[in-house]
Amino acid sequence: MHAIVQHEFGPAENLRYERTPDPEPGAGQVRIAVSAAGVHLLDTSIRRGEHGGPFPLPELPMTPGREVAGVVTKLGDGVDAQWLGKRVVAHLGQASGGYAEQAVANAASLHELPDHVSDDAAVAMIGTGRTAVGVLRIAELTPDDVVLVTSAAGGLGALFVQEAKAVGAKVVGVASTAKLDLVRRLGADVVVDYTRPDWDEGVGEVTVVLDGVGGEAGRKALELLGVGGRILLFGWTAGEPTRIETADLYRLGITASVVVGPRMMKGTNLRGLEELSLRALADGRLTPLTTTFPLSEAAEAHTALESRATVGKVVLKP
């Protein structure tokens, strides 16, 4: 089979399209003929050799990728025969191997896909979608909210815009110039171009900020919160977290919450979030945006993602 192999940490060019042996499933595992593989921003940090969380960097050489969809073609010992030939999506956890024509997954991680759900959408929802659902559970949006979404055309942001509109809230979508029309089509009531230095002027007061960008954009969004407003933090693609001081909280009685990690897991588990996410997809409540690249162009996909040239979830197609 063909797979993307990384022999050393560094730039995107280190992701090489190579022929490799077919993986063999062990006990409790299956082999999947991959039709779609998800690319996560964390993948780019790992590729550069930067710690992207509490887990150590993988040993090299390795094949990146933790989200796959496709058809089960081989079963390991102890796996129910019903899975053979099923169309599934799975999150591979901290294991690697998704950027490939075939991948191995634990049978316990599999979700069978209904016919009307595409592989690309399923891959987006098994990882990015479960994070979005986890954030939204904590946000508890209401029809009375005015919700500001940073990076509103991103994988998470696009889902946040849709859900906020579904509950009847007013939505302010923040995105780059080229993506404003897309954010408007997602349902945002107000669209704002963050490339303008004065983008926050005229937005008005908001009650909720969903911020995965951080930096200056996150700070400006914070300052738009009214009395009793809340900001939910889940990352900093700008390179640094949103600056928040105790005085900010006292000034208007706002709250700031980090909603990834232990907070997101309270009262649930990752599988539970995956089920909620995939159900929202199947029911048509949430529809992820995707940008696709051929598997052989994984390096180009990483470069595009890092330069914010993509919309929604980036997906590789073998």
Q: What's the confidence (pLDDT) of residue 264?
A: 74
* Long-range Cβ contact pairs of 179-182 (< 8 A, separation 24 or more): 179/152, 179/153, 179/311, 182/153, 182/289, 182/311
> The pTM is what?
0.93
Alpha-carbon gap, residue 221 to 243, rounded angstroms: 11
Q: What is the amino acid identity at position 71? A: V
47-58 pLDDT, tens digit per residue, is: 999 865 667 888
Tokens (6 digits) for 51: 């710690």
Report the amino acid identity of residue 222.
L
Average pLDDT over the chain, rounded to an integer:
94
SS3 assignment, position 23: coil
Model pLDDT, residue 199: 95
pLDDT at 173 over 80: yes
Residue-wise pLDDT for 251-294, tens only, equals 989 999 999 877 777 767 889 999 999 999 999 999 999 999 99
| Proportion of the chain above pLDDT 90, given as a percent | 89
Statement: residue 37 has pLDDT above 90: yes
The pLDDT tens digits of the residues spanning 90-145 come to 999 876 899 999 999 999 999 999 999 999 999 999 999 999 999 999 999 999 99
Q: What angle do the packed helices 130-139 and 155-166 form, to 10 degrees?
A: 40
